[in-house]
A and B are shown apart, each in its own frame.
Chain A
Amino acid sequence: MNQNKRILIAVALLLAIVGIVLGVDTLQRQKAAAGAAADMPPGSIPIFIDGKFVASFVPEDLNQLKNVSFVDAEEGKTQDGWLLRDVLLLYLGEDNLQTKTEIMVSSSSREKTQTLTWAEVEDQQNMVIFDLSGRGTLKLVSTIPGFDIRDAWIQDVDKIEITTP
């Protein structure tokens, strides 16, 4: 087989791989859309207050949020995205958020949860932000001591719960 044929096979293989990945993603989206409520579009992050669904964080609202970034101390990589503070203020308003309000961000697939107080989230110095991961899901990162390392960060976030003690 000559080199040109081999290169053509490789290009066809590349197109097939890209097609399969995008095809599977489209199928997953369609499947998720079929089973999702109208106010919880696929890929959105539902927000609950005291167990009651109140809103979904949807990508259409990203243009209303300020983009922020920081360089993490662990690997020196830039983490950039949207402040959790701004997301909560956009959907809930300040009335639902008090200093002692607890905000629990979780990932069911990774079985990870992080609970922060509104005081911690509201402080912009803490950089509690949603970073968009390489595969398009949201990752909660921050610079809060103890919650400033990868092991503690919440990858593949799929739920935000608010409780006020």
Chain B
Amino acid sequence: MALFSALVVVAKIALRTPLQLPGHSGIFWMTIIIVGAKVVPKAGAASIIGITSGLLASFLGLGDFGALNTFLSYAMVGVASDLILLLLGGDSENPVVAVIVGIFGHLGKFLTKWLFGIISGAPIGFVALGLLRAIVGYILFGAIGGVLGWVTLKALKRAGFFAYLAEKR
């Protein structure tokens, strides 16, 4: 779990896309969270990955809105992923489930930032459709992350990784 948490932070720092759209980093985040939640067969694995990566990111000073905002938004990615996995029965090998988990996990981050804005009395958006653009971005990139997570899980399964894990246990 610690490895996946570190991967989330490293992905945020090192992996860049040329896309200048809100939430584009969700492609990497959600892939890692979905793979982590499946590879670590423990209840709350995604939440622990989210919380640990949030702690790491806060100590590294990532984010524009302070350490608490960074911590909670990273943590919520994991918590929201776990909650939706619970509702969907935990089957992230199903592509539709993986996409929905990707969307909800990433939307958890958006909601945290949005709620922080409301609580702190942030001004309303400069561009009227800015919020809608952000929501669409978070949903779209979360969904892409979900697809990539599912593809990665499929590849791991084909390579015999889960059979190997089962044997080890």
| A-side interface residues, number (CB < 8 Å) | 48
Query: B104 touches which one: A14, A77, A139, A155 (CB < 8 A)?
Result: A14
Report the number of A-B residue pairs with Cβ-Cβ less than 8 Å. Answer: 122
Q: Determine the main DSSP class of A at the interface with B.
A: mixed
Please tell me if A7 contacts chain B, counting CB pairs below 8 Å: yes
**Which of B35-43, B44-52, B111-119, B161-169 is found at the contact surface with chain A?**
B111-119
B contact residues around A74 at 8 Å (CB): 61
**Which of A39-47, A97-105, A117-125 is found at the contact surface with chain B?**
A39-47
Query: A3 touches which one: B88, B125, B135 (CB < 8 A)?
Result: B88
A contact residues around B94 at 8 Å (CB): 3
A contact residues around B134 at 8 Å (CB): 134-136
Binary interface profile of B, 74-97, with partner A (CB < 8 Å = 1, else 0)?
000000000010011101001011
Contacting pair A138 B107 (CB below 8 A)? no
| B-side interface residues, number (CB < 8 Å) | 45
Binary interface profile of A, 127-139, with partner B (CB < 8 Å = 1, else 0)?
0000011111111
A108-124 at interface with B (beta carbon < 8 Å):
108-110
A1-35 at interface with B (beta carbon < 8 Å):
3, 6-7, 9-11, 14, 17-18, 21-22, 24-25, 28-29, 32
B binding-site residues for A, Cβ under 8 Å: 13, 16, 20, 22-23, 61-65, 84, 87-89, 91, 94, 96-97, 100, 103-104, 107, 110-111, 113-114, 117-118, 120-128, 130-135, 137, 139
